[in-house]
Amino acid sequence: MAAAFLRSPRFTLFIVVVICGSLLVLAPPFSNRAAPFTLVDEGLASRLARSDKIYNATLRNRKELIKKYGPSPEDIALFPPDTPPRPPYTVWDFFPASYNCPHELVRIGALGDGGKWVCGLSRVVKKPGCVVYSIVISLGINHESSFEADILKNTDDCRIWGYDFSVRKFGPQIPILRWHRTYFKPYALGGQDKHEATDDPKMYTLNTLMKQNGHTHIDILKIDIEGWEFDTLTALIQPYVDSGTPLPFGQLQLEVHLWSKNFPQFLKWWEILESAGLRPFMTEPNLVYLNYNPNRMSDLAEYSFLNTKGENVFTHNPHQISLESGVGALSE
């Protein structure tokens, strides 16, 4: 064979061309070959779309889980009894915080009770007119204001409106030099206004409080009202769902108390939140409560929600937000 190649250069050239051509035909296209990994920022809209897709899968999985252990919501127990046959679930398995925060996820305030998880604090660090509401019951603000203190410390212009009818001021965590960015009233949050002279405590809806303060939008809303969140948030949110109007806040940090609730009641209330565009991106059980009440179920949990409807700083870039979206609207 080698002698034939030497005697016939044309034959040798022909063989080389055939081999090279065969390799080109059989080789995968260049565009399909493995390339070095590079991290590409897909943009906020793409990240939100991916989070929506993931959460939609959660909605489908919830329906399947209800069928498995129900088959209807009325057949589901919040915490099944520890007797055979014991279903391996609790109520929290049906409502995971599976919406991916499209920004950095950061703990604001204490690592224990009092701190909250926030999605994208960087979005309001330099936002002019940033608005935060902190509404709690049962000595929350007076004894534990680390969340509010961290907000003030890590932002340039966020101002905090605090409401807690059980105390008279914010806690000692907030230094005097930042008091000018805080406002406090000993009010309760409710589903209707009750603030006549004889009412104790005086109760206000969120919409009324916002009108009093001249606000049309809240960037971060923190609520811990010891079980009243069901009636209060239903009264607040349902009109927005019915009218198709976006909720007036960007994200919600909420402690959920399942006292005296059953699964169908909780499911109905949760679906109202979802209909309004609220998506949970973080959750944790209240283990402090469980530790000091060992005979109770784990019926308290912290949730953080992102509002995915309307225009807010967490779901829209600054240049996309209308200047008419309320106090705290961003400019270019």
pLDDT for position 144 = 80
In whole angstroms, give the CA distance from residue 296 to residue 306: 30
Asked whether residue 10 falls in the same domain as residue 84, the answer is no
Asked whether residue 137 falls in the same domain as residue 25, the answer is no
- Residue 211 forms part of a structural domain: yes
Asked whether residue 24 falls in the same domain as residue 173, the answer is no
Asked whether residue 313 falls in the same domain as residue 254, the answer is yes
- 3-state helix/strand/coil string of 92-140: HHHCCCCCCCCCCEEEECCCCCCCEEEECHHHCCCCCCCEEEEEECCCH
- Is the per-residue pLDDT at 272 higher than 90? yes
Asked whether residue 155 falls in the same domain as residue 7, the answer is no
The overall longest dimension of the chain from CA atoms, in Å, is 116
pLDDT for position 54 = 97
**3-state secondary structure (DSSP) of residue 68:** helix
Asked whether residue 23 falls in the same domain as residue 113, the answer is no
pLDDT for position 218 = 98
pLDDT for position 103 = 97
User: Which stretch of 2-16, 180-194, 265-279 has the lowest confidence by average pLDDT?
Assistant: 2-16
CA dihedral 81, 84, 85, 87 (to 10 degrees): 40
- Residue 118 forms part of a structural domain: yes
Q: How far apart are the first and last CA of the chain?
A: 75
Asked whether residue 145 falls in the same domain as residue 283, the answer is yes
- Residue 327 forms part of a structural domain: no
Asked whether residue 55 falls in the same domain as residue 8, the answer is no
pLDDT for position 188 = 94
pLDDT for position 81 = 84
At 34, the pLDDT band (50, 70, 90 cuts) reads very low
- Residue 105 forms part of a structural domain: yes
The per-residue DSSP string of 178-244 comes to GGGGEEEE--EE-SS-B-STT-SS-EE-HHHHHHHHT-S-EEEEEEE-TTTHHHHHHHHHHHHHHHT
- Residue 39 forms part of a structural domain: no
pLDDT tens column, 171-222: 888 888 888 999 999 999 999 999 998 999 999 999 999 999 999 999 999 9
Whole-number average pLDDT of the chain: 85
pLDDT for position 226 = 84
Asked whether residue 200 falls in the same domain as residue 141, the answer is yes
Asked whether residue 26 falls in the same domain as residue 48, the answer is no
pLDDT for position 37 = 39
Before 85, cis peptide (omega within 30)? yes
More confident residue, 25 or 242: 242
- Residue 325 forms part of a structural domain: no
The pTM (predicted TM-score) of the whole model is 0.82
245-131-201 Cα angle (round to 5)? 85
pLDDT tens column, 69-126: 999 999 999 999 877 777 789 999 999 999 999 999 999 998 877 899 999 999 999 9
pLDDT for position 169 = 87
| Total domain count, the chain | 2
Asked whether residue 13 falls in the same domain as residue 74, the answer is no
Residue 91 Cα distances to 42, 69, 96, 255, 284, angstroms: 35, 11, 10, 15, 13
- Is the per-residue pLDDT at 256 higher than 80? yes
**3-state secondary structure (DSSP) of residue 2:** helix
Domain that holds residue 314: 44-320
- Residue 332 forms part of a structural domain: no
pLDDT for position 48 = 97
- Residue 231 forms part of a structural domain: yes
Strands 182-185 and 203-204 turn out to be unpaired
Residue 52 Cα distances to 11, 183, 309, angstroms: 63, 36, 12
Asked whether residue 24 falls in the same domain as residue 68, the answer is no
pLDDT tens column, 43-76: 999 999 999 999 999 999 999 999 999 999 999 9
